[in-house]
Structure 1
Amino acid sequence: MTGPLLIERIEARILDIPTIRPHKLSFGAISRQSPVIVQLWLANGATGFGEAATIGGPSWNEESPESIQHAIEAYLAPALIGQDGRRIEAALARMDAWCKGNAFAKSAVEMALIDAVARTLGVPAWQLLGGKRHESLPLAWTLASGHIERDIEEAHLRLEQKRHRIFKMKIGARRPADDVAHVSEIARSLQGKATLTVDVNQAWDGNTARRFLPQMIDAGVTLIEQPVAKWNVEALKTLTATLGDRASIMADETVCTPQDAMRLAREQASHVFSLKVAKHGGLLRTRAVAAVAEAADIGWYGGTMLETSLGSAASAHVFATLGAQHHGCELFGPQLLVDDIVTERMAIADFELQLPDGPGFGVEIDLAQLERFDRRRAGLQATHIDLGQATAKA
């Protein structure tokens, strides 16, 4: 490839895809996902796809599908049209200059650009991201139906299928004592068969976490994600120091930028970082956060925003380039959706997600599926999280 590889066109669309069951979190429940799918064309005719998914519209952070689409169409696409697509870091800097923040929107555009350039070269995306260090990653499943019997049945089915033996439970919407009872019963059912993690999604204050997390650890929980508000680094630090010999504390919403990662490392406020391509602002910036983790002897976990197979494959490519100090990944989003937008999903074998090695992200987009779920075609309104179901938590 010689000479500039100009970016010719960028388009974004919102999809609305139902989930196979309600997915309950501390702040509500979702019954459909609304990812923003970006398509980018290079002047040589190559095209690439990217994705930014939120959970419950703007309920997880400040960006929504509608704001992501607007940022791309109004600011990010005009910033990049006519620029050399080979200069990916320069493209990120240009997007930063034209539009502050909007990490999710920028991640989708960068993802599409990397996919297009990798396809031009005929190489898998991991080859542009430092080279893979893993062929596959242990794959977690989230138990978030809100019902003990259903969660236990779901977990045992996944074990029998050899798809998952790491399970995360979403908690924080109910009374803490009820959450402890819920987690403990499921932990007893899975004892000796699987690893159990809990995600509080910022729902507790420091005192509540200090009181109830030891009970969950006694029940068998080994990894605890974001038990307190993202700003509450002091509480994270205390929990990391006091519970560290019994379980690991994982930061999620608290660690978005490399600067966030540096602060947590300096404060020794986390044992693990949950990495998510969208919140970090792209694949290259995910590697930057991971580099801080590796330098500070902090582990990493491959998180999800419940993307389709497109975003999940992109995440898998960058996670495959990271170090050995990891706790697996949870790129199960495609399994939670009633259908997908690719012709073939990534394979799962012996409890691990297999890295696709084709050109780009190794998955092929089904254009008919894009049309099928396109919000403009379906005439659906914006996705809203059902806050009323928060009391059922998962």
Structure 2
Amino acid sequence: MRPVTKIDQIETMILDIPTIRGHVLSMATMRTQTAVLVKVKFSDGSEGIGEGTTIGGLSYGAESPESIQSAIETYMAPALTGRDGNDVNGAIQLIDRLVKGNRIAKAAVEGALWDGLGKRVNVPLSQLFGGAVHDKLPVAWTLASGNSETDIAEALEMIEIRRHNIFKLKIGKRSVRDDVAHVARIKQAVGDAASVRVDINTAWSLQEARWGLKGLQEAGCELVEQPLPARYRKAMAELASGYEIAVMADEALNGPEDALEVAAAKAADVFAVKVAQSGGLKRASEVIAIGQAAGLGLYGGTMLETGLGTAAALQLFATVETLRWGTEFFGPLLLTDDILANPVVYRDFCVEIPRGPGIGATLDPDKTDFYRRDRGRTMKAVAGK
């Protein structure tokens, strides 16, 4: 009988890392990204690492970095300590019973458990989900300065250096007319050299969305992400059936139950699948399966994770045969510094799948120590305008 590898300790830390520019969303402007890192130590001396990251504090969703850390330290860690570290599914089921919601916190702990297991059996995390079928994936870049000329210059530079030829524009703060004109200027500038999509982050009413989708479609935009609040599924279905432009669900997808309801309501053409928003790698794989079964397009979504969370997501999406709409795993590129000793690689309009056991990522201890919040450094993460 082999000795059981038990979970000995679960540690968390909050990092505040500046962004390279203001990242303008419909609900906030980000100038710093805050990530919660999780380290799980096992009885055999092995370790696993994971990340839980949200966008814009509490302006995006119900979890904040502080609540993620509290949920892990107060409720999840005591329940998991002493359990079999290889029984990841058992840990997922236990925490689902003990902790309601808190999907990002769950995803952070689960990621660390999968990472530890992959390292112990010396296989990449993708192997634990059936095996990778890609070694790189198309990757989008978000244009979110809010200024048309700035965004055009940024897009043309990205095309020139062959880093991105898919662009997602964050809109929704201005009038529909102004936003459509902004998108049209950028699409005209990049022409057929790039795909242009938009993300509204739930900011429009149904009436605004009708006008908006019509104008965006005429401007050559290919996809619109979550134009309406998540609960308006019938209205989303109207938009999906009424226009040729693809309608993508994002905030409406919080795990497989939501995915099933959105698919049944025909409330989207595409699923933006986010590991953190789904509740972890396992639940994200279930969201992917539902989208595949429903014949919907798939897109690898981000919560603007650091390289750690990005690497974990890449391991999962490397196993997905068809990603019609690519991915947006550019999170590390938005930050002024990388916390990985082996940063994720971006080239030729793609992001490469990390190699090595587990997630395939190793933290740089000097960087994590420098950016961790409990060392007394404070930064303002978001602004209202």
* 1:78 partnered with 2:75: no
**Alignment correspondent of 2:29:** 29
**Alignment correspondent of 1:203:** 203
Shift of 1:384: 4.7
**Alignment correspondent of 2:275:** 277
Shift of 1:103: 0.4
**Alignment correspondent of 2:371:** 373
Cα distance between partner residues in 2 of 1:167 and 1:362:
27
Shift of 1:325: 4.2
**Alignment correspondent of 1:116:** 116
* 1:330 partnered with 2:301: no
Letter in 1 for 2:348: D
Letter in 1 for 2:319: T
**Alignment correspondent of 1:318:** 316
Letter in 1 for 2:173: A
Report the secondary structure of 2:72's partner residue: helix
After TM superposition, the runs of 4+ consecutive aligned structure 1 residues lying more than 6 A away are none
Cα distance between partner residues in 2 of 1:217 and 1:33:
32
Gaps of 5+ in 2: none
**1:15–1:35 Cα contact (<8 Å) kept:** yes
Cα distance between partner residues in 1 of 2:39 and 2:323:
34
Provide Cα deviations, 1:340-373, integer angstroms capped at 9, x if missing partner.
1101211122111110121111121111111100
Cα distance between partner residues in 2 of 1:76 and 1:206:
40
* 1:364 partnered with 2:358: no
Shift of 1:97: 2.0
Report the secondary structure of 2:23's partner residue: strand
**Alignment correspondent of 2:140:** 140
Report the secondary structure of 2:366's partner residue: helix
Cα distance between partner residues in 2 of 1:180 and 1:2:
62
**2:6–2:85 Cα contact (<8 Å) kept:** yes
**2:222–2:246 Cα contact (<8 Å) kept:** yes
* 1:259 partnered with 2:257: yes
Cα distance between partner residues in 2 of 1:247 and 1:5:
51
Shift of 1:287: 0.2
**1:125–1:317 Cα contact (<8 Å) kept:** yes
**2:34–2:381 Cα contact (<8 Å) kept:** no
**1:287–1:322 Cα contact (<8 Å) kept:** no
> TM-score, normalised on structure 1?
0.96
Report the secondary structure of 2:168's partner residue: strand
Across the two proteins, how many residue pairs are aligned to each other? 385
Shift of 1:76: 0.5
Moved more, 32-41 or 127-136: 127-136
Report the secondary structure of 2:359's partner residue: coil
* 1:61 partnered with 2:61: yes
Cα distance between partner residues in 1 of 2:220 and 2:153:
19
Moved more, 130-139 or 311-320: 130-139
Cα distance between partner residues in 1 of 2:116 and 2:13:
18
Report the secondary structure of 2:254's partner residue: coil
Shift of 1:138: 0.3
Percentage of identical aligned residues: 44
**1:52–1:278 Cα contact (<8 Å) kept:** yes
**Alignment correspondent of 1:91:** 91
> TM-score, normalised on structure 2?
0.98
Gaps of 5+ in 1: 390-394
